[in-house]
Amino acid sequence: MQEPTFLILTALAAGAQHGYGIMSDVSRISDGRVRLRAGTLYAALDRLKADGLVTSDKEEVVDGRLRRYYRITDEGAQQLAVEVERLRANAAVAATRLGLAGGTA
Amino acid sequence: MSTPGDLQNSPAERQHLAGQRAQHAEQRAARRRNRLEKRYRRLLALYPRDHRREHAEEMVDVLLAVAATDIAGPAGANLGGSARGLRPAAAAQRLSRDVADAADLLAGAARIHGRMVLARIGPRWFTRLVRDTRWSDALAVLSVITPVLLLVAALADFGIPQAVANAAAGHPYSRIAATYEVSDLPLLVGAPLVTVLACLRLRRLAGMAALATGIGQLAVGVPGSALAFRGYSSPAVAFTVLLAGAAAAALLLSPGPARGLDLLTWWGAALVTLGALILGGFSVGTSAWFGYTSAPPPDLTSPSINSLSGEVAGLPADLLIAGVLVSVGVACLRTPVSRRVLALLAIPVIPYAVMWQEKLAVDLLGPLNGTTAVIHSSVPLLYLPPLLLAFLIVAGTQLARWRATGHERAEGRGGQMGPASSPPGPPGAVSA
């Protein structure tokens, strides 16, 4: 799973959000390191929707403009959990080898 | 309206001026907003119609919202105050952001178009096959290896290093000056393009370029379409076609070169390049890399496989090629992913092996006169085994998956997986 995908799913894991909300949330989650642009975001959302990991939620009209919310699906949450586990395992091995953390207790 | 004399005016006047200024700023912002919206809509016109209908409005909304926060600056929406600050630095920043946004929208459009095309042409089983991380990892490794091989094949085929070396040494012979045919174009243009795009991590574009190279190489053989086509029964043509096809599959269906390089490591990539250079150099002739020190052999003007073997270093070169091929094979047997790399890599390497055994026969028995004990290359020999192998790979993984999901259903919960089921879990296995 690539980082933007991971971050988008993470942003949606807390609840449904619209496009701009996802963008600013991703920026916040990654400490400003990853700044998604609209083209990247919507291409990623298109793929995630096609893969069944994300789905469109409610729609709102704000200032005469349509605002669509996106929501993570069960399968999306499951894949995110798998990825979290994988990253955690990798990080644990790296930390152990570097002698950083106490490793496994 | 924003004279330095502001401070001397009465409070009422000051208020009036401030109001005017804010009004101007607002108008300016509105104008810019309109301009931006028009520009964004022009770019969004490049998206597929379905996507546009569904998402264009919200994308414009998001783009304008981002632009608005950027104009206002981090301090907030105090436009009146910051308007005077919009000097060259800010303008340059805005320009670079506009360009980056436009490029990002273009890339997004290309990605969505590409995915739609793939969804139409890519059968479902292929997508599922690639969900198995071991196969997708193998394809990712292949997405690093195949562009390298394609580039080396092109360099060797067209003798480009040779021409450079000859020019540097002042040797008169140059294949570049000699002949380029229209039929050379697909490989000559495609190979470097695929490599450059892959290096830029533009996976899908590189994949499309590889696909175009393979199709172009096939298309030049259509009767009357190009001069001096070497024919489909040439192993060199089969090799480049299948290699381009493998590169396209690897680039389009895997996570791409970034993941491949992670698995292969830079050392591995360097070794692969070295191996490719050895194979390329010795299959076409050692002079391909180093140029000539003496007169070139007489028959180089039409470099088909048969005539090229004339100046190759003979049997030692054949044995070296065999050595490289065998050691690659043995090295790949170690892990599940590398075994899959080997299986996939074998698809384009089959015609290369045919080429090699022809060369070996020439070196052992003299020029081919149609009587020597060599397996003559033919279209079925060159294309059927690779296609069969590709079919076996797909069928085998499919069978293993069916068996795995069948077991799982029988046991209620899948304790152990079949050989080809993927760690993230096959999509059909979520039955609870």
- The DSSP-derived string for B191-233 is HHHHHHHHHTT-HHHHHHHHHHHHHHHHHTTSTTSSTT---TT
In which order are the strands placed within the sheet that holds A17-18?
A: A17-18, A65-72, A54-62
Determine, for residues B61 and A65 on separate chains, whether the beta-carbon distance falls below 8 Å: yes
Write down the domain spans for chain B.
13-120, 125-411
C-alpha A13/C-alpha A85 separation (Å) is 15
Domain tally for chain A? 1
Which residue of chain A comes nearest to B59, CA vs CA? A38
What is the arithmetic mean of pLDDT over B112-123? 74
Indicate the range of A66-80, B35-49, B131-145, B219-233 predicted with least confidence. Answer: B219-233
Instruction: Give B220-229 pLDDT, tens digit per residue.
Output: 776 666 566 6
- Position with higher pLDDT, A101 vs B390: B390
Give chain B's radius of gyration (CA, Å).
30
Task: Write the CATH number for A66.
Answer: 1.10.10.10
A60 is a domain residue = yes
pLDDT value for B73: 47
* Candidate from A38, A66, A82 with C-beta closest to B105: A38
What is the arithmetic mean of pLDDT over B232-249? 85
Distances (CA, A) of B60 to B42, B54, B55, B228: 11, 12, 9, 52
Q: Rank A69-73, B155-159, B325-329, B341-345 by mean pLDDT and report only the highest.
A: A69-73
Above 90 in pLDDT, residue A23? yes
Which residue of chain A comes nearest to B133, CA vs CA? A1
A55 phi/psi in degrees, rounded to 5: -140, 160
Confidence band of B74 (pLDDT split at 50, 70, 90): very low
pLDDT value for B47: 93
Sign of the CA dihedral running A68, A69, A74, A79: positive
Tell me the residue range of the domain where A37 lies: 3-97
Confidence band of B172 (pLDDT split at 50, 70, 90): low
Rounded to the nearest integer, the mean pLDDT of chain A is 88
pLDDT value for B261: 87
Which residue of chain B comes nearest to A2, CA vs CA? B255
C-alpha B205/C-alpha B213 separation (Å) is 12
* Candidate from B57, B63, B105 with C-beta closest to A66: B57
- ipTM comes to 0.85
What is the arithmetic mean of pLDDT over B275-294? 66
Determine, for residues A39 and B101 on separate chains, whether the beta-carbon distance falls below 8 Å: yes
- Within an 8 Å CB–CB cutoff, is residue B30 touching chain A? no
Instruction: Give B83-108 pLDDT, tens digit per residue.
Output: 455 567 777 887 888 888 889 999 99
B57 contacts on A by Cβ (under 8 Å): 65-66
Determine, for residues B51 and A41 on separate chains, whether the beta-carbon distance falls below 8 Å: no
B217, with CB counted inside 10 A (0-12, 13-18, 19+), is buried
Indicate the range of A8-17, A61-70, B349-358, B419-428 predicted with least confidence. Answer: B419-428
Chain B closest-CA separation from residue A100 CA (Å) = 23
Above 90 in pLDDT, residue B5? no
A28 is a domain residue = yes
Residues 6+ apart with CB under 8 A from B362: B306, B309, B368, B372, B374
Determine, for residues B55 and A42 on separate chains, whether the beta-carbon distance falls below 8 Å: yes
pLDDT value for A92: 92
Is B419:B400 a contact under the CB 8 Å cutoff?
yes
Confidence band of B380 (pLDDT split at 50, 70, 90): confident
Above 70 in pLDDT, residue B75? no
Please report, for chain A, how many H helices and E strands are present, in that order: 4, 3
Determine, for residues A38 and B65 on separate chains, whether the beta-carbon distance falls below 8 Å: no
Is B21:B3 a contact under the CB 8 Å cutoff?
no
Above 80 in pLDDT, residue A52? yes
Determine, for residues B51 and A65 on separate chains, whether the beta-carbon distance falls below 8 Å: no
A102 is a domain residue = no
A53 is a domain residue = yes
B65 Rama class: left (phi>0) / alpha (psi -120 to 50) / beta: alpha
Predicted TM-score (pTM) of this structure? 0.52
Residue closest to B381 by CA, chosen among B361, B344, B345, B355: B355
Determine, for residues B255 and A2 on separate chains, whether the beta-carbon distance falls below 8 Å: yes
A46 contacts on B by Cβ (under 8 Å): 51, 111-112, 115
pLDDT value for B76: 38
pLDDT value for A55: 92
Confidence band of B374 (pLDDT split at 50, 70, 90): low
Above 90 in pLDDT, residue A104? no
Which residue of chain B comes nearest to A46, CA vs CA? B112
C-alpha B43/C-alpha B53 separation (Å) is 14
How many CB atoms are located within 10 Å of the residue B129 CB? 21
Above 90 in pLDDT, residue A13? yes
